[in-house]
Chain A
Amino acid sequence: MPRLSTEQVKALAPDPASLNAGTKLTDIRYWSNLGSDQMALWGECQGSGREPYKVCVDLADNATRCTCPSRKFPCKHALGLMLVAAGSPARLPEAPPPAWTAEWIGKRSERRQTELRPAEPVDVSPIQPERKKETERRASKRIKLAETGIEALEQWLKDFARLGLAAAQSAPASFWADQAARMVDAQISGAARLITEMSLLPGSRQDWAEVLLLQLGRLYLLTQAFRKLDAFPFPEQQDILTLLGWNVNQKELLATTTGTQDDWLVMASRTTEDEKSGLRSQVNWLYARNSQRIAQILNFAYRLQPLDASFAPGLTLRGELVYFPGAYPLRAIFRDKQAVPGSFAVTGFITLNAFLAEYACALGRNPWLRQFPAVLQDVRPLYLEPQWLLRDEQNQAIPLEPRFARSWELLAVSGGQPVSVFGLWDGFYFSPWTVWAGERCTLL
Chain B
Amino acid sequence: MSTLKALTQSAMLGAGGGFTPPASDLAPISGADPQALFLASAAVIGIGEIGGRIPVVLEIEDPACPAESSAYLPEAAVGQLKRMLAGEFESLLPEFLDLTASRGFLAPPELLPVLLGIGKADIRQKALQIVGRRGEWLARHNPAWGFAVSRLPQDAWEHGSFGERLAALGQQRADQPDEARGWVEDTWGQDSPEQRAAFIAALEPGLSMADETLLEICLDDRRKEVRQIARALLLRLEQSQLVLRSWERARRLVKKKFKLLGGDQIEVVLPAEVNTAGRRDGIGERQVQKTLGEKADLLVQIISLVPPQFWNREFGRPPGKILQAAMNSDWREALVLGWQMAAASARDSEWASALVALWAEREEIRKIMDQDGLTALVQLLKVESVEALVAQAVRPHITELDDRHKLVTLLTRYQQPWSPNLARMVIGSAQRQSLSAPNDLAYALYGFGRWVPPELAEEFREGWGEDLHVGWSAPINRFLGLLKFRQEIRQSVSSQ
Docked-complex contact B40 and A221, CB < 8 angstroms: yes
Q: Inside 8 A of B35's CB, which chain A residues have their CB?
A: 157-159, 161-162
B7 contacts A by Cβ under 8 Å: yes
Question: What is the distance, in angstroms, from A399's C-beta to the closest C-beta of chain B?
Answer: 8
Q: Beta-carbon contacts of B1-29 to A below 8 Å, as 1s and 0s?
A: 00011011001111110000000000000
Docked-complex contact B137 and A161, CB < 8 angstroms: no
How far, in angstroms, from A417 to B109 measured CA to CA in the complex? Answer: 12
Docked-complex contact B477 and A24, CB < 8 angstroms: yes
B54 contacts A by Cβ under 8 Å: yes
Q: Inside 8 A of B7's CB, which chain A residues have their CB?
A: 213
B50 contacts A by Cβ under 8 Å: yes
Docked-complex contact A158 and B113, CB < 8 angstroms: no
How far, in angstroms, from A24 to B14 measured CA to CA in the complex? Answer: 62
Q: Given the known A-B contacts A162-B16, A213-B7, A382-B62, are A398 and B110 also in contact in the complex, defined by CB atoms under 8 Å? A: no
Docked-complex contact A220 and B47, CB < 8 angstroms: no
A96 contacts B by Cβ under 8 Å: no
Question: What is the distance, in angstroms, from B395's C-beta to the closest C-beta of chain A?
Answer: 30
How far, in angstroms, from A224 to B26 measured CA to CA in the complex? Answer: 15
**Closest A residue by C-beta to B54:** A356
Interface size on A, residues (CB 8 A): 57
Docked-complex contact B39 and A217, CB < 8 angstroms: yes
Question: What is the distance, in angstroms, from B69's C-beta to the closest C-beta of chain A?
Answer: 14
| A residues 155-171 touching B (CB-CB < 8 Å) | 157-159, 161-167
Q: Inside 8 A of B59's CB, which chain A residues have their CB?
A: 395
User: Which residue from B4, B38, B65, B461 sits with its C-beta under 8 Å from A29?
Assistant: B461
Q: Beta-carbon contacts of A378-396 to B below 8 Å, as 1s and 0s?
A: 0010111000010110011
Q: Beta-carbon contacts of B342-357 to A below 8 Å, as 1s and 0s?
A: 0000000000000000
Q: Inside 8 A of B64's CB, which chain A residues have their CB?
A: 415-417
Docked-complex contact B137 and A218, CB < 8 angstroms: no
How far, in angstroms, from A27 to B461 measured CA to CA in the complex? Answer: 10
Question: What is the distance, in angstroms, from A229's C-beta to the closest C-beta of chain B?
Answer: 17
Q: Given the known A-B contacts A363-B51, A396-B55, are A162 and B15 also in contact in the complex, defined by CB atoms under 8 Å? A: yes
Interface of A is mostly: helix
A1 contacts B by Cβ under 8 Å: no
B36 contacts A by Cβ under 8 Å: yes
User: Which residue from B8, B53, B58, B138 sits with its C-beta under 8 Å from A389?
Assistant: B58
Docked-complex contact B55 and A412, CB < 8 angstroms: no
Q: Which residues of B contact A (CB under 8 A)?
A: 4-5, 7-8, 11-16, 33, 35-36, 38-47, 50-60, 62-65, 79, 109-110, 112-113, 134, 137-138, 141-142, 461, 477, 480-481
Q: Which residues of A contact B (CB under 8 A)?
A: 6, 24, 27, 29, 157-159, 161-167, 207, 209-210, 213-214, 216-218, 220-221, 224, 352-353, 356, 359-360, 363-364, 367, 380, 382-384, 389, 391-392, 395-398, 406, 408-409, 411-413, 415-417, 427-428, 437, 442
Can you list 26 A-B contacts (CB < 8 A)?
A24-B477, A157-B35, A158-B36, A161-B11, A161-B38, A164-B11, A164-B13, A164-B14, A165-B12, A213-B7, A213-B46, A214-B43, A216-B39, A217-B39, A217-B42, A218-B43, A364-B51, A382-B60, A397-B55, A397-B57, A398-B53, A398-B55, A398-B56, A411-B138, A413-B109, A415-B138
Q: Which 5 A-B pairs have the closest CB atoms?
A: A217-B42, A427-B50, A416-B64, A217-B43, A164-B14
**Knowing that A165-B8, A367-B43 are A-B contacts, what are 12 other residue pairs whose CB atoms are under 8 Å apart, sorted by A's residue number?**
A158-B35, A164-B15, A213-B4, A214-B47, A217-B43, A360-B51, A391-B55, A396-B58, A397-B56, A398-B55, A411-B138, A411-B141
